[in-house]
Structure 1
Amino acid sequence: MHKFKRRGGVISTDLSADEVGMLESLLHELIDLIGEGTGEAGSAGDADDPFAAWAEELADDQPVEPPDDPVLRRLLPDAYPDDPKASAEFRRFTDRTLRRKKITDAEVALGHLAATEGGRQDLRIPVEEVDSWLRVLTSLRLAVAGRLGITDNVTADEIASIPEDDPRSFLVSVYDWLGFAQETLVLAL
C-alpha cells in the first residue's frame, strides 16, 4: 500500500490482494463481533424506516449492560464509567444505533474493497464517504489494540518492541499498517 492521494473528489491508493483480503477479513470479523447477540450481524438494520427502529428501541425498557468482551467494551464504551446504572440506561438508548453505524461503516468499506477486484484496481473512496473509512479504521485499530492488550502509550511501546518470533508480531504489524492507512487517509483530506 502506498499513501492515500486525493484527486478531485476521490481519495485513492493501491492495495495488494493480500491487503484487500486482510481488510475484508477484519471487517467481516468486526461486523460479526459488533452484531453478536443483537441480530445485527451482517446487516445494518432497516435504515429506510427510522421510526420503526426508534419504536423497537423504545419498546425495550430494560437497561443494557456493557459487553463482556474487552474489545467490545472499547468499541462501545460506557458513557458514565463511574455510574454503571446511568451507563446502562444511556446504553439502552444508544447501543443499537451505535452498533448499526459501525456495521454500516464496515459495509461501506467492504463495498469499496470489492470494487478493487481483489487488488487489481485501485481503492477509490469518494470524499463524501471518507468519514466511514476513518471511523471503521479506528474501530479496527481499537479492536486489534484490545486483542494485543494495548491500553496506553506504555503498553503500545512494549508491544512495538516484541521480537519477530513472538506469535503476536503479525498482529502488531496489522496494527501498524492500520495506523499508516489512517494517517495517510487523514493527510489526503
Structure 2
Amino acid sequence: MRKWKRVDTADGPRFRSALASHEAALLESLVTSMLGMLDDRESSSPADELEEITGLKTGHTRPPEDETMRRLLPDFYRPQHDHPAGSGTAESLNSALRSLHEPEIIEAKREAAQRLLKTLPVGGGRFELTEDDAHAWAAAVNDVRLALGTMLEIGPDGPDRLPPDHPMAGHFDVYQWLTVLQEYLVLGLMDKK
C-alpha cells in the first residue's frame, strides 16, 4: 500500500494510490464478507404489515446478537445513568429508532462497500478515486476495521500486540494495515501531506 496522493484537477480532487495484488484480493474478500453479514442481518428482519401498506421499510427492533454486527449497528441511545422511568425507556427508544433507521444505515454501509469494490483495481495496481469514491472507501474500510477489531477484541485504548504464535496474529497485522490505509486516505481528504 502506497500513501494516497491528492491531485487537484479541473473536475475536482482525485486521490491516487496503488495496491499490490494480494492487498487488493484481501480487501475484496473482507468487504465482500462484511456485505454478506449486512445482507444476512437485513434479510432476517421480521415482516411488517405497515411496510407493505406504506412502503416505509422497517428493520429489527432488537440489536444483533453477534458482537461484530452489534459493533456495526450499535444502539442509538445509551443512558449515562439510570433513567427515572427505568431501563425500559432506553430499550423502548432504541427499539423504535432501530426499526426506523437500521435499514437506511445498512443501505449506506452497503453502498459504500459496493463503491469500494467497484473502484478497487482488479489484480492490484495503480488507481485513482474521485472525492465521493474516497469518502466511500474511508467509510467501508472503517466498517471492516470495526468488524475485525471486534473479532480481535481490540478495546477503546487501541490494540495490544498479539504474540507471534497467537492464532489471530495474522489478523492483527491486517487490522494494522487497514488502519494505515484509512489514516492516509483521511489525511488526503483533509488535504494533509
TM superposition score normalised by structure 2: 0.80
- Equivalent residue, structure 1, for 2:48: none
Deviation of the 1:32 alpha carbon? 0.5
Q: Which residue of 2 aligns with 1:47?
A: none
Q: 1:109 aligns with which of 100, 110, 116?
A: 116
Cα pair distance change 1:138/1:16, threshold 3 Å: same
Matched, 1:70 2:77: no
Amino acid paired to 1:4: W
Give TM-score scaled by structure 1 length: 0.82
Aligned partners of 1:30, 1:157: CA distance in 2, in Å? 21
Q: Look up the SS of the partner of 1:65 in the other structure.
A: coil
In 1, distance between residues paired with 2:165 and 2:183? 27
The runs of 5 or more residues in structure 1 that have no matched partner are 41-51
Aligned length: 167
Q: Which of 18, 30, 36 matches 1:32?
A: 36
Q: Which residue of 1 aligns with 2:103?
A: 96
Change in Cα spacing, 1:71 to 1:94, as seen in structure 2 (3 Å) is same
User: Measured at CA, do residues 104 and 90 of structure 1 come closer, stay the same or move farther in structure 2, by a change above 3 Å?
Assistant: same
Judge conservation of contact 2:119–2:133 (CA < 8 Å) in 1: no
Quick check: 1:152 aligned with 2:153?
no
Distance 1:63 1:124 in 2: 38
Structure 2 unaligned blocks of 5 or more: 45-51, 80-89
Q: Is the 8 A contact 2:6 2:188 kept in 1?
A: yes
Distance in 2 (CA, whole Å) between partners of 1:23 and 1:166 is 22
**Higher normalized helix content (fraction of residues):** 1
State the distance in 1 between where 2:138 and 2:150 align. 18
Match of 1:118 in 2: 123
- What root-mean-square deviation, in Å, do the aligned CA atoms of Structure 1 and Structure 2 show? 1.9
Q: Which contiguous aligned blocks of 4+ residues in structure 1 show a shift greater than 6 angstroms?
A: none
Q: Relative to 1, partners in 2 of residues 1:136 and 1:63: Cα closer, same or farther, differing over 3 Å? A: closer
Match of 1:140 in 2: 144
| Higher radius of gyration, 1 or 2 | 2
The structure with the greater share of residues assigned to strand is 2
- CA positional deviation for 1:63: 6.0
Aligned counterparts of 1:84 and 1:13: Cα–Cα separation in 2: 44
Question: 1:157 offset after TM fit, Å?
Answer: 3.9
Q: Secondary structure at the match of 1:36?
A: helix
Q: Distance in 2 between matches of 1:111 and 1:16?
A: 17
